[in-house]
Amino acid sequence: MKTHIVLLGPPGSGKDTQGKILSCKLGIPLISSGEALRTEIENGSEIGLEFEKLIARGALVPDEVMFEFFTTILSRYNLSEGFVLNGFPRTLKQAEFLSGYLKEVDCDVNCAIYINVPDTEIIKRICDRLLCGNCGAVYNAYLNPPKNDSICDRCGAPLQRREDDEEQVVLKRLEVYHNETAPLIEFYKLAGVLFEVDGVGDIGSVTQRLLEVIND
Ligand code: AMP
């Protein structure tokens, strides 16, 4: 079983949802850069305010800032025991940084999974996305709708939309993804650890495809 996993794919390809499921099933931590940034924003720190402005317009946090911030996050985990990374790396520089960081703790990425979902499907999905601000559950009006339109099935808290899920911002995030993040597919292919999975279909089917790759 492969346990040093990076999830790649455009925003809305299911990395959050699948990352949570994989983390539970495999018993390894999910480390999500987007979640970590949003937590920092909620904490109301000065740097959080900067993150908020960048995220709201669909831009990336600059690499150097991200290295410092994410090193603190990574240092909380025993990475050699396994991880599912979601949202980091997002640029070639970040991928190189991650390789160097992992080398220091005597491990490496052994499975980078590219969840392939076409842009047309992404726009449909993200614009219908709902999140629970309390427990973090993710819903989609057509893929996995909540039982009640505005209430979380799991904890009963009100559901919200992400500020950066507005269509104009989604288009910007997709553009950034194609320019900055898609080249990582080639990076991990060259490293011999790239696996591609079709991300279209219901959540359970995509999980099955991911597990086949991980368990192979
Ligand atoms: P996500 O939840 O992964 O979709 O991330 C939401 C937003 O956080 C992105 O659109 C970026 O603005 C920012 N972000 C998340 N991860 C990174 C990263 N590795 N590098 C730079 N910005 C990031």
What are 46-56's pLDDT values in tens digits? 999 999 999 99
Q: Looking at the CA of residue 176, tell me the nearest atom of ligand 1.
A: 10
Q: Is 211 in the pocket of ligand 1 (CB under 6 A)?
A: no
Q: Looking at the CA of residue 38, tell me the nearest atom of ligand 1.
A: 8
- Residue 86 Cα, ligand 1 centroid: separation in angstroms? 10
- Residue 36 Cα, ligand 1 centroid: separation in angstroms? 9
Give the span between the Cα atoms of 165 and 158, in whole angstroms.
Answer: 17
Give the span between the Cα atoms of 71 and 46, in whole angstroms.
Answer: 18
Q: Mean per-residue pLDDT for 163-174? A: 90
Cis peptide before 29 (omega within 30 of 0): no
pLDDT (0 to 100) of residue 128: 86
Q: Looking at the CA of residue 90, tell me the nearest atom of ligand 1.
A: 19
* In contact, 7 and 84? CB cutoff 8 Å: yes
How many Cβ atoms from other residues are within 10 Å of residue 181's Cβ?
Answer: 22
CA torsion angle for 145, 5, 173, 67 (degrees, to 10)?
130
pLDDT (0 to 100) of residue 28: 98
- Residue 165 Cα, ligand 1 centroid: separation in angstroms? 12
Whole-number average pLDDT of the chain: 95
What are 1-24's pLDDT values in tens digits? 999 999 999 999 999 999 999 999
Q: Is 146 in the pocket of ligand 1 (CB under 6 A)?
A: no
What are 101-153's pLDDT values in tens digits? 999 999 999 999 999 999 999 988 888 889 998 998 989 887 789 999 889 99
Residue nearest ligand 1's atom 11 by CA: 60
Q: What are phi and psi of 77, to 5 degrees?
A: -115, 150
Give the span between the Cα atoms of 98 and 75, in whole angstroms.
Answer: 12
